[in-house]
Amino acid sequence: MRDKPTLQEALAHNLRDAEPQEAQALIDTISCIAYACARISEVAGLGVLAGAHGLADSENSQGEAQKKLDVLADELMSQHLEDCGHVAGWASEEHECHLLSRRHARKGGYLVVYDPLDGSSNIEANISIGTIFSVLPHVYQGMLPTDSSYLQPGSEQIAAGYVLYGPATIMVLSCKRGVLMFTLDKRTGQGGQGGEPARWLLTQEDVRIAPHTKEFAINASNQRFWEKPVQRYIAECVAGESGPRMKDFNMRWVASMVAEVHRIMTRGGVFMYPRDTREPRKPGRLRLMYEAAPMAMLVEQAGGRAVNGTHDLLEQVPDTLHQRVPVILGSRDEIDRIVSYHADPHENVSWQLFKTRSLFVQPQA
């Protein structure tokens, strides 16, 4: 039986309609990212034995304390992007400004943005974490990129993907020709110890998100801050068979966007980190460029939908490198319903689920 295609073989087939030189440049760029992620996977898999647990003596661009594995993952991504001859520069969630390639800043045709370690609060709990990345065109190739060079809507992404570091290490990737899923074969290569890296093998083609679902993911502790459309939607889900949806739902929450989206990719569902009223000047919590836009592209390519509540995320143009936005994505039928509720934001929840008690307290008999 023929072996499963490698990452490079699968991408060559996926990009067969592209101009050959452009296709090879994109394959090389994604391969550099994949190599970095294979090394991150090895360190993450060693856990405390790698000395990468705990806090680093530093903060990221947003003043948040960094974990040691955050810093290491960021360094590995930067190192391998520097080695890629097609990348002019990159922007990381961990840095206030973008970084220039020392050797390829003028000739590179791509810009890369990434969150090196999504869900890092879960490291010590040994819960799945991940890396999110996006490849953008360097529109003014030949000139040094600036911060503004990256401020492109998600619809302009050339490729986007994430890597999930779980029981298996899985990459989910799209070059705007559907969604592919790869698994890191740790039986091959030398991983991060030098020599040839472990191989990424194609394990699923044409990944599709089911349009219907009975599962949603949201941080219910923020319930009191949600706007009315979200209150209504979650109330209907929690009401189950006795409510207007006339079916029971399950709730999930991992606090790692990569893990949440991967569950949706494999069995459908809805992920919500909506706008809330905690801090009116901050309409969202997730970063548009490093998290929301790449995930939106993957979800849309898989037949789902991704919105900020009222508009498609892929059409939103970033104002800054670290702009935060509300994110609601997943199974298309459910996202369409949530958008319709936002179109009528003055409609109240039609029963008393959230009026006098919390999401979880049952009424007294």
What pLDDT sits at residue 198? 78
Among the three residues 185, 204, 223, which one is the final residue of a domain in this structure? 204
Domain boundary among 160, 176, 204: 204
My answer on whether 82 and 19 are in the same domain is yes
Is residue 265 located within the same domain as residue 178? no
Q: What residues have CB less than 8 Å from 246, skipping those under 6 apart?
A: none
In angstroms, rounded to a whole number, what is the distance separating the alpha carbons of residues 252 and 24? 40
- Measured between its terminal Cα atoms, the distance across the chain in Å is 62
* Whether residue 174 sits in one domain with residue 30: yes
The CATH code of the domain that includes 112 is: 3.30.540.10
pLDDT at 143: 95
No. of H helices and E strands in the chain? 7, 17
pLDDT for 76 equals: 97
Could you tell me if 313 and 292 are in contact, meaning their C-beta atoms sit under 8 angstroms apart? Answer: yes
Asked if 161 and 105 sit in the same domain, the reply is yes
**Residue 191 pLDDT:** 46
Q: For residues 70 and 56, give the distance between their C-alpha atoms in angstroms, rounded to a whole number.
A: 8
- Quote the CA–CA distance of 146 and 100 in Å, as a whole number: 9
Is the Cβ–Cβ distance between 65 and 326 less than 8 Å?
no
Other CB atoms within 10 A of residue 274 CB: 26
Residue 171 CB neighbours (<10 A): 26
Domain carrying residue 70: 7-204
**Strand, coil or helix: 261:** helix
pLDDT digits (tens), the chain, 365 positions = 458 999 999 999 999 999 999 999 999 999 999 999 999 999 999 988 888 787 766 656 566 668 899 999 999 999 999 999 999 999 999 999 999 999 999 999 999 999 999 998 898 899 999 999 999 999 999 999 999 999 999 999 999 999 999 999 999 999 999 999 999 998 887 543 445 667 999 999 999 999 999 999 999 999 999 999 999 999 999 999 999 999 999 999 999 999 999 999 999 999 999 999 888 788 799 999 999 999 999 999 999 999 999 999 999 999 999 999 999 999 999 999 999 999 986 665 444 444 434 454 444 44
Distances 36 to 40, 65, 131, 192 between C-alpha atoms, Å: 6, 23, 10, 9
pLDDT recorded at residue 65: 67
224 by DSSP, 3-state: which? helix
pLDDT value at position 102? 94
Looking from the CA of 93 toward its CB, the CA atoms found within 13 Å total 25
Tell me how many degrees the CA angle 328-68-149 measures, rounded to the nearest 5. Answer: 55
Same domain? 133 vs 171: yes
Tokens 């919500």 belong to: 272
Domain end position, chosen among 153, 170, 204? 204
pLDDT score at 56: 65
Provide the residue type at 113 as one letter.
Answer: V
- How many structural domains are present in the chain? 2
Distance CA 105, CA 144 (A): 6
172 with 84, same domain: the answer is: yes
Domain contains 350: no
Q: Are residues 71 and 132 in the same domain?
A: yes
Q: What is the pLDDT of residue 51?
A: 82
pLDDT at 347: 61
Query: Same domain for 231 and 171?
Result: no
